[in-house]
Amino acid sequence: MKKFETAEEDEPPTLSAGPTRTVRRTGRRRPPFGSYMDADLQKRLKIWCVTNDVEMQDALDAAVRAWLDSKSES
């Protein structure tokens, strides 16, 4: 069973798959966002998220933040 924690409003979601496999919930509302990705990539993401008890939207949020941060460092 998934365990949920409530994070502070301004704290970005984090991905952690430690011993308790905790899913971080931000508690903030997210506007809808739609996109397309390669079917194999989506399948890999879904498998990873299910295996690690992480919501796909949290994984995508963290991945986009990390990508944007890497772009701003260049």
- Give pLDDT tens digits for 5-60: 444 444 555 555 444 444 455 566 888 888 999 999 999 999 999 999 999 999 99
Q: Measured between alpha carbons, how far is 26 from 74 in angstroms, rounded to an integer?
A: 29
Q: Measured between alpha carbons, how far is 58 from 23 in angstroms, rounded to an integer?
A: 9
In this prediction the pTM is 0.59
User: How confident is the model at residue 19, as a pLDDT?
Assistant: 41
Token pair, residue 56, equals 């796909």
